[in-house]
Amino acid sequence: MSRPAARRLPGLRFEMQAPPVADALPRMDVAAFVGFAASGPLHVPVVVEDVADFEAVFGPAPLLAWDAERGEPVYAQLEPAVRAFFRNGGRRCWVVRVAGPSARANTFPVPGLLRVTEGGGVSEALARARSEGSWSDAAQVASSIHREPVELVDWHTSLDGGVELTVTAPGGVAVGDLLRVSFDGTSCALLAPVEAVEAVSMETVPTWSGPVPRRVTAKVLAPRARWLQSDVAPVDTTPFISWTRGVGDEVSLDVTALDDPGPGTTPRVLTLTLDLDPEQAPPAGTVLRIVDASTGEHWLPVEAVVLGQGVGAAVQVSGVASRVLTSAPPEVASAPAWCERLTLGLWTRRGEGQPARLERLGFCPQHPRHWAALPTDVERARHEDALPSRLPEERLPQDWRQGVPSERFPLAGPGAEGEAFSIPLGLTDQPTAFVGCTPPPGDALVRDGLATFGSELFLDAGVKSLGTEALLSTADFLRYQSTQPRALKGLHAVMDRLDASLVSVPDAVHRPWVLTGRPAVPPPEDGEPLPEPAWGSFLDCALRPPPPPEPLVAQPEEPASGQAFTLTWALVDGTGVVYVLEEATRPDFSDAAEVYRGPLVERTLYGRTTGTRYYRVRAERGGVTGPYAPGVAVTVAPQARWRLVATDAYDVGPLLAVQRALLRMACVRGDLLAVLSLPEHYREADAMAHAAALQSPLGAEEDGVPPLGFVEEHALSFGALYHPWTFVTEEGRLATPRRMPPDGTACGVLARRTLARGAWVAPANEPWDGVVALNPALSQDRWLDLQEAQVNVVRQEPRAFLTLSADTLATDPELRPIHVRRLLSLLRRSALRLGATYVFEPNDASFRRRVQYGFEVLLGELFIQGAFAGKTPATAFQVVTGDALNTPTQAEQGRFFVDLKVAPSQPLTFLSVRLVQSGERGLVTEVR
């Protein structure tokens, strides 16, 4: 019998319905920055929504060169530009890291890990840095293993060398797991990568609380299983030994002796005596490959390294050797067996800092978290960019995270292609040794891809010389239609980021740098001899001058600017000895000054700037002065071996090439505004000349990029030029303001004004947050000249640093204001979005009225918000869809045209207030 419905009391009931979501205008506050970074993917846009996101991917600003004129290091400007963007109101930006083809990524040997290929070969496992550059030189890698017990029901081998296991485990086992079967009383283990699973039974185990686990018994197939036999040794006492260094090169080692304790010793630790320099010794944690003519290939994880031991040898290494077999050893036939499931842990650290780690990584390619599939920055950026259109099971795992969340995990896998599975070798629950990389040959700046500064770093060679008519079609052909489609490089990679409306290349304004050698330094001269005693004076025979406290040694010998260094000298026998250390800038010590007096035999000096200084030390005892020890010269080198060229040798060609290409790309996109800046040393005349050079169609071709031609004049309205540079106080660096070009701050102000009031409001008279000074401070007498030259001058006003002009480089007065260009770009985006909704509609009179109404509503909303001039909508905008525009011939071709005619609003540039004095009392009143 059904239950009657509950009755309600009489009354009124109100149902609140959520209002429809307003159709927001297209976003116009997203910026794109192109420049130099320490890490991160090359030529791939990465979306960033705060400073922490940027630092996690791209790291701190890399050191580029040394400015000899200022005596200070020069850093990349991409990182401070992004910081300034967010500081001034930006919320989202795209970042493109650029570098030359010489950029290389470091390679790291993974301690205690081997890889088995599909063909059966075994090799050391190598990881790689997640991106190119020298940023990972100081990183070190370690590994650990996590073991989970699994009940072994049965096992047997097949004729083809594979293994079939029957195991029981909570939740069962899955394809991609690695099972290890150990045999008591033997040194053998079976490594079975799971490739097929067949459930046999399932049971539920009751518990007192929490979820109820299910124990699953399954039959596991592992056709590629391998046997690992430990506590073995080669027969030959001088076998062939090699190891794979961090650069991926296999290095052979000369063995002079092999100490084997014998098969009865557990563990059977082998000691190898190697004939090589201590600097070239394999560190603890590396895996040595031992090839014996009789017993085959052995693998020795280095557990200890002793330098300077053994007769006639420099290095001794020791560890327990193992070998990989394809068939079962006879001693396992009757031994008790037990099973466990293995996962890998990867650890990284820099120096003695807190290590970062990734846990529960798989050893097999089928594992969803296979260690070799750790993505590089390029792979991760492309996957994250494609997330909305990809199925969840195709996306990268969401837990590729590490223990320290401030920085992205620095390692990437070598790729799982051609791998059967990986073999752990001597790993424990905690890492025992951290191994660093051997960087590829070359200076750090060479491996960063920044050894040569030029426009080719920022431009795609396939499209940089093209005009506005052919640029878009050629770019689409290279990306989608060529025989080998490829992504565009440099600033042209921003072309397909459709939400970006601002673009800047802050690192294009650098002066080039060159590699300089160490200058010749004259050696210190010998100290003057002790003064002779006065004639006729008698001296106490017990007073003897103390000997010189030599040798005097500096460590390091060539410290960098600002780096501390320590001077040490020998101890003089006796009591009451006082040491006197002197410093001079001349090799003859004519300007020597005392910097230390006391009983210590070392002194650490701080804060020495670039240059060569000379030091000498002597001992005093009982008022008697001893001779000086031989002096030492300490050259404080710049923080970078590369030096900027002088300002009088600056070539503006690369900057013109980059900015011309940037204007063309912005014009082709139709909705980008290029924010341009100038070199720091440019004065008023230089700035005006540069603006004229960008506008002139008769200029010379620079680095393969021709000037904007007569038919490309409209591209000038897509660029705005800002000057001068600014001193900015950054978060956490309040004591040392940083000099930077103004484009990062300008983009932030543009984004803030757009979010607050709209893209059609002029981005002027807005305070620039964080700016404390200008460099150079342009003369007020030239402000009007700069404004007429369409250079937006950053000025210091009583209330803030700001700009009182907002001009593009357009020669057309109607398109000169930035807000007009931004308004037209907004209309373009809105029209594209609205027009796409009318595709495939019937082309009739009703359709025309519907289209006209839709665009009138769009423009009407903008009119209400103040985007257009005029007192009424009829005088502010017009939507044309009549028969004169859409002829029957065009209708037959399936085409429909809409003309949007608008009158952009004009900003108030002057507010006049008239003050009149009347009467003897000096009354001042306002008169209109």
What is the per-residue pLDDT across 622-634, written as a single tens digit (0 to 9) for each? 778 888 999 999 9
Amino acid identity at 857: V
Instruction: Give me the mean pLDDT over the 828-843 stretch.
Output: 86
For 53, 140, 350, 405, 406, the CA distances from 354, given in Å and listed in that order, are 20, 12, 8, 12, 12
Give the 3-state secondary structure of 767-790.
CCCCEEEEECCCCHHHHHHHHHCC
In our burial notation (b when 16+ CB lie closer than 10 A, e otherwise), range 890-904 reads eeeeeebebebebeb
Planar angle of CA 263, 266, 270, nearest 5 degrees:
65
pLDDT at 412: 92
pLDDT surpasses 80 at 147? yes
Mean pLDDT of the chain: 86
The type of residue at 121 is: G
Residue 707: what residue type?
Answer: P
Give the closest residue to 99 by CA, choosing from 33, 40, 55, 46: 40
Residue (of 696, 546, 689) closest to 625 by Cα position = 546
Q: Name the amino acid, one letter, at 560.
A: A
Instruction: Quickly count: other Cβ atoms within 10 Å of residue 878's Cβ.
Output: 15
pLDDT score of 112: 93
Tell me the sheet residues that pair with 751.
none
φ/ψ of residue 653, rounded to 5 = -55, -50
Which ranges constitute the DSSP H helices of 646-696? 653-669, 684-695
Binned at pLDDT 50, 70 and 90, residue 386 comes out as low
- 351 burial level (CB within 10 Å; 0-12, 13-18, 19+): exposed
Specify the higher pLDDT residue, 339 or 516.
Answer: 339
Q: Rounded mean pLDDT of 813-836?
A: 91
Alpha carbon distance 142, 358 (integer Å): 11
DSSP 651: -
Q: What is the chain's Cα-based Rg?
A: 37
pTM given for the model = 0.85
**Which of the two residues, 5 and 395, has the higher pLDDT score?**
5
* pLDDT score for 392: 39
The pLDDT value recorded for residue 213 is 60
- Cα–Cα distances (Å) from 173 to 144, 155, 340, 345, 360, in that order, read 21, 15, 11, 19, 14
Peptide bond into 524 cis (omega under 30): no
Could you write out the DSSP letters of every residue in 558-602?
Answer: SPBTT--EEEE-PPPSSSSEEEEEEEESSTT-TT-EEEEEES-SE
Cβ contacts of 767 within 8 Å, gap of 6 or more: 799, 800, 801, 802
Name the pLDDT band for 921 (thresholds 50, 70, 90). low
Whether 700 and 678 have beta carbons less than 8 Å apart is answered as: no
Which of 323-337, 380-394, 453-467 has the least mean pLDDT?
380-394
Closest by alpha carbon to 113, among 401, 411, 315? 411
pLDDT more than 70, % of the chain: 88
Of 323-332, 379-388, 610-619, 698-707, the range with the lowest mean pLDDT is 379-388
Question: For residue 231, which of 161, 301, 147 has the smallest C-alpha distance?
Answer: 301
Q: Say which residue, 532 or 813, is predicted with more confidence.
A: 813
pLDDT for the residue 802: 94
Please say if the pLDDT value at position 444 is more than 70. Answer: yes
pLDDT for 407 beyond 80 = no
Question: What is the reported pLDDT for 541?
Answer: 60
781-793 residue pLDDT tens:
999 999 999 999 9
Question: What's the number of CA atoms in the CB half-sphere (13 Å) around residue 582?
Answer: 21
The mean per-residue pLDDT over the stretch 331-350 comes to 91
Which one, of 288, 404, 419, lies nearest residue 347 by Cα? 404
| Residue 46, C-beta contacts closer than 8 angstroms, at least 6 positions apart | 40, 57, 58, 94, 95, 96, 97, 377, 381
pLDDT score recorded for residue 493: 94
Q: Residue 533: which pLDDT band, with cuts at 50, 70 and 90?
A: low
Q: What is the mean pLDDT of residues 407-429?
A: 89
Do the beta carbons of residue 413 and residue 127 sit within 8 Å? yes
How much of the chain exceeds pLDDT 90, in percent? 52
Instruction: Name the DSSP class of 145.
Output: E
- Contact call for residues 713 and 811 (beta carbons, < 8 A): yes
Q: How confident is the model at residue 394 (pLDDT cuts 50, 70, 90)?
A: very low
Listed residue (803, 821, 823) closest to 812, CA to CA = 821
pLDDT computed for residue 584 by the predictor: 92
Reported as half-sphere exposure (CB side, CA atoms, 13 A), residue 853 has a value of 6
Q: What is the pLDDT of residue 82?
A: 96
Pairing of strands 577-584, 513-515: unpaired
Rounded to an integer, the average pLDDT of 140-163 is 88
Quote the strand ranges of 785-885, DSSP E.
791-796, 801-803, 877-880
Residue 716 or 392, more confident: 716
What residues does 261 pair with on adjacent strands?
A: none
**Pairing mode, if any, of strands 577-584 and 593-598?**
antiparallel
**Number of Cβ within a 10 Å radius of residue 711:** 11
Side-chain-side CA neighbours of residue 731 (13 Å): 10
What burial letters (b/e) apply to 816-828, b meaning 16+ CB within 10 Å? bbbbbbbbbbbbe
pLDDT in tens, 31-77: 999 999 999 999 999 999 989 889 989 999 999 998 888 888 899 99
What's the rounded Cα separation, in Å, for the pair 674 and 501?
A: 9
Quick one: which of 343, 487, 493 has its CA closest to 429?
Answer: 343
CA–CA separation, 680 vs 644, rounded Å? 13
Are 400 and 383 in contact by the 8 Å Cβ rule? The answer is: no
Using DSSP, state whether 261 is helix, strand or coil.
coil
Which pLDDT value is given to residue 214?
Answer: 73
Residue-level pLDDT at 16 = 60
360: left (phi over 0), alpha (psi -120 to 50) or beta: left
- In this prediction, residue 439 carries a pLDDT of 83
Run of H or E including 273:
strand 269-274
Residue 928: predicted pLDDT = 43
The arithmetic mean of pLDDT across residues 202-227, rounded, is: 74
CA gap 272, 280 in Å, rounded: 15
